[in-house]
Amino acid sequence: MTTVTASNRFSLSVYFLFVEALFMNMGFFMLIPMLSIHYLSLGMTALFVGNLYAVRILSQQGLQLFGGAIADRVPYRYVILAGCLIRSVGFALFALIAAGPWLYAAAILFGVGGALFGPAGNAALASLVPSELQARAFTIRQATSNIGTTVGPVLGAFLVYDHFNAICWIAGAIFAGIGIMSVVLLPNQAPLDNKPTLWRGVRAIGRNRVFIRFVILFMGYYLIYQQMYIAIPDTLHALHAPKTALGELFSLEAILEIAVSYPAIALMNRYAHRWSAPKIMAFGMYVMALSWLPLILRVNVWGVLAPVVGLSIGSVITIPNRQTYTALLADKPYLATYFGVASLSMAVGASVGASGGGLLMRVASHPLGFIASPPALVFALIALASGYLFSRLPSPSPPLDSPGYTG
């Protein structure tokens, strides 16, 4: 099956993956940022909410190695379908369970679904696009993801207090629809001569020292970005901000991120020959580090706005290059397994960010001398160190040819 024409236009399947990313992120972010607001308003602690996020993250990112191994053996479209349907069940449980430890069951199902469709979706895109166009394809997909990421929280924030259950049902329906459309619009990948196995994939990845180092370093990114859902809402809650503050903050953030994302993408495409993926990722981390400075000096709503904008812009810069770097480092038969292992950085980093961020906000939220927010200083230093270490990563060699698809 031809996936890219002579004029470098993408196939229908690739465009579907772009649209899929938009709706997946919109459905996901309609609910995930709202969990902290909803359960904090019910009297639950930031530590409980942080642990709930940690369970979801560990069950999703920690199992993506196995989800990737499955996707290397089973057509990507069927793995995406299974993952979307399982996640829809998780959404339904959040609507049906009001409180208590059974919420962790909803979080686990939510995560298991993502462990299946996450590496399958990334591998499908990398397989459908030749290596010289992968950076462009992942950047476009990230741009559509950003629209969903910014619109989703805005919709959720204005519904969370009175219509939380509706958020869960709508988001679940979105994922079920995406799963069904994946089976219709995505082709099967071409069979390989030697069927990949989990053990062979793990051994191949274990020999790739640069990739292992990259996965470890990227934990710092996810630790910091997770504060969008832990430290930021908790700070607003401590400020006794009006109920509409979160929605207004995310509305402004959505406008800024969409406005900034396309110039950022254009600059990355223009100077891709001059800046390697690790250098661009380092720049994104420096943006995230600097954004905590206003909150370090003074805790107010305007101080909270700075990291919201900085984390969003840093994500626009960093994430597409993470996907491209992973695809360039990957061995051809284990493409989905590589994406699955890459997600271990989120499993550890975001889990530590969720539980650790919640604990830090609980025990160290009081000013320390001229430092108005000690947690913000910690987050800035971690982002700064991560940026420096990213800049030390080598540029990858050109990848092997991507596995093809059949109709």
* C-alpha count within 13 angstroms, C-beta hemisphere, residue 172: 21
pLDDT band for position 245 (cuts 50, 70, 90): confident
Is 1 inside a domain boundary?
Answer: no
Task: List the domain range (segments joined by +) for residue 377.
Answer: 12-401
Is 7 inside a domain boundary?
Answer: no
- pLDDT (mean) for 94-103: 83
Q: What pLDDT does residue 247 have?
A: 66
Q: What pLDDT does residue 196 have?
A: 65
End-to-end CA distance of the chain: 6
Task: Report the domain count for the chain.
Answer: 1
- At 357, is the secondary structure helix, strand, or coil? helix
> For residue 404, is pLDDT > 60?
no
Is 4 inside a domain boundary?
Answer: no
Strand-pair partners of 368: 371
- pLDDT (mean) for 82-111: 89
Is 35 inside a domain boundary?
Answer: yes
DSSP string, 185-252: H--EEPPPSS---HHHHHHHHHT-HHHHHHHHHTHHHHHHHGGGTTHHHHHHHHTT--TTHHHHHHHH
Higher pLDDT, 400 or 397: 397
Is 2 inside a domain boundary?
Answer: no
Q: Please give the sequence-ordered ranges of beta strands (E in DSSP) within 21-88, or none if there are none.
A: none
Specify the pTM: 0.75
**By the 8 A CB rule, do 327 and 126 touch?**
yes
Q: What is the pLDDT of residues 271-299, one digit of tens each?
A: 666 778 888 899 999 999 999 999 999 88
Is 95 inside a domain boundary?
Answer: yes
Is 240 inside a domain boundary?
Answer: yes
Is 112 inside a domain boundary?
Answer: yes
Q: What is the pLDDT of residues 146-201, one digit of tens each?
A: 788 778 887 887 776 678 888 899 999 999 999 999 999 998 766 555 566 677 77
| Phi, psi of 273, deg, nearest 5 | -70, -20
The domain that holds 306 is classified in CATH as 1.20.1250.20
Residue 315 CA, distance from chain mean position: 9
